[in-house]
Amino acid sequence: VERKSMVMSDEEKKMTAYHEAGHAVVSIHYPASDPIHKATIIPRGRALGMVMRLPETDKISYLREKMHADLAVSMGGRVAEELIFGHDKVSSGASSDIQYATRLANAMVTQWGMSDSLGPVLFAQPEDNTAPMIRSPDAIAKVDAEIKRLVVDAHEAAKKILTEFSGELERVAQALLQYETITGEEITKIAKGETIDRPDPLAEAPKPIKSRLPSNRKGVDLTP
């Protein structure tokens, strides 16, 4: 639910706009990423803003290319803050993104066999608890290192995209500051440098309806 009553400072709005723009720009450069439904800097719940991506069809399986796309997109907000505001001005706004990326990377390594170096081996506790755990101290260290590598690689992938397409990042962020909420279709146009067609809300305001009742200027009794 939107928290329009929450007052954000201009600095927080700017930070949030670039953060969400970072997610959006990385997403549109990953074909495997779900299409963006909309992006907003209107606070919702505990989030100051968000980019909503929705799959075009129901999906049962989770492909490797989609996993790497999601990792990079999740790092896009943090990377945008680093590039625009600098290392010392990075906020805690990427907390949930980092949590999501770490959990995804953990599942890739320990459950889904998506690590080339560790192979298709189960390192997590099986759901039925019937198979033994393969977690020697050496394996634990390798698993942790591989999880970190996946997240760091995603961070670097997002950084490469946002550095190369810095103009797109700037345009989308400025659009968010102006409109607060923009659709996925609008984001694509804005990133390309195209203008978006937003109707003037004042032009569409309903005109007042003139009353057909007779005027009572002369003191005429109009009661039934």
**Which residues are part of the catalytic machinery?**
20
The residue type of 167 is G
The DSSP annotation for 17-54 comes to HHHHHHHHHHHHT-TTSPPEEEEE-S-BTTBS-EEEE-
CA-CA distance, 156 to 177, in Å (whole number)? 26
Per-residue b or e along 187-223, where b marks 16 or more CB atoms closer than 10 Å to that residue's CB: bbbbbeeeeeeeeeeeeeeeeeeeeeeeeeeeeeeee
Which 8-state DSSP code applies to residue 2?
Answer: B
Closest C-alpha among 61, 53, 76 to residue 114: 61
Reported as type and span, the H/E element at residue 183 is strand 181-183
Q: Structure tokens of 70? A: 């999601």
CA distances 192 to 50, 84, 114, 207, Å, are 21, 20, 34, 37
> How many whole angstroms separate alpha carbon 49 and alpha carbon 19?
9
Whole-number Å distance between alpha carbons of 107 and 101: 10
